[in-house]
Amino acid sequence: LLYERHGEAAAVVQLKDLEVPKVGDCDVHVKMLAAPINPADINMIQGRTYPLLSPLPAVGGNEGVGEVLEVGRHVKALKPGDWVIPADAGLGTWRTRGVFPEEVLLKVPSDIPVLCAATLSVNPCTAFRLLADFESLAPGDSVIQNAANSGVGQAVIQIARASGIKTINVVRDRPDLAKLVERLMALGADHVITEEMLRKPEMKDIFKSIPRPRLALNCVGGKSTTEMLRHLQPKGTMVTYGGMAKQPVMVPVSAFIFRDTRLRGFWMTQWRKDHAQDQESVAAMMDALCQLIRRGQLTAPACTEVPLQDYRAALEASMKPFVSSKQILLL
């Protein structure tokens, strides 16, 4: 799926037949199996506010899983039949086949479900780092997050649950709220509340049974963030990793002066750049996530599987508000 100019995804992305290049000595020929449509993919195609843009013409997609068909003679770590995912953003995963240098691919076990592998390299990795890198959380501690029904939000709930950490999950009010609450509770959420509830005195009842959170995860911005901050413990940290409301993060001065609140930011792409030479950290994270998947403690987000030729409908569906299902292209 190729785009030759930036613009609205459904308008500029086209399905094109291209020749598969010859496999060089250090290359790997991959048959793609499945690739999701993520908000960052759409942002890159729109070309407006995203800091990472592929040179045009570009193939869409930053995430997915493929099977190795053939390797060049200098390739040591991969062999035909292995499953691989992108080691970094910008690979262009919305394609049936591709020839890539060995170093841009990461091997993953092929005994995990294909949808888990296809959605492994962005959201679960982001959730893992958010929970691991900003506060040293222990069993019994709590975390609060908004956009809790997003791919990252669902992964945070499950990874936290597996570590004995409680989650307070904020979602927008919607027509099928009861169904969403039920789904997040089934994943292991301790509390699911709406944005409006954040402002109500009843919030105090939640903190009778669990401690106030030391960590807040913000993917929205605007008013949601300000309200969430009020419930953080003194010296707590809020990490912003997205801005779905397209509004700035507003913080009262008192949060800094009287409660010494810390505000941080996180971008998975930058983490990968910073750890490019530190394969141990990457391997340890992937191993931990795959173990959780094998034990049934981490599942793929709710997915809608779409054949490649129906890509336009999938792109349009991924842009609709209140989407709780991730569109996955089957390749």
Q: How far apart are CA 285 and CA 129, in angstroms?
A: 8
In the block, tokens 């691991």 appear at 132
- The angle at the Cα of 251, spanning 245 to 252, to the nearest 5 degrees, equals 140
113 preceded by a cis bond (ω within 30 of 0): no
Exactly one of 3, 50, 241, 311 is catalytic; which is it?
50
DSSP 307: E
Q: How far apart are CA 3 and CA 305, in angstroms?
A: 22
Within 13 Å and on the Cβ side, how many CA atoms surround 174?
A: 16
Contact (CB, 8 A) for 90 and 268: no
Contact (CB, 8 A) for 99 and 29: yes
Q: Has 3 been annotated as catalytic?
A: no
Bridge-based pairing of strands 221-222 and 97-101 is: unpaired
- Burial class (CB within 10 angstroms; exposed 0-12, middle 13-18, buried 19+) of 298: buried
Q: How far apart are CA 91 and CA 266, in angstroms?
A: 21
Q: Which residues are tagged catalytic?
A: 50
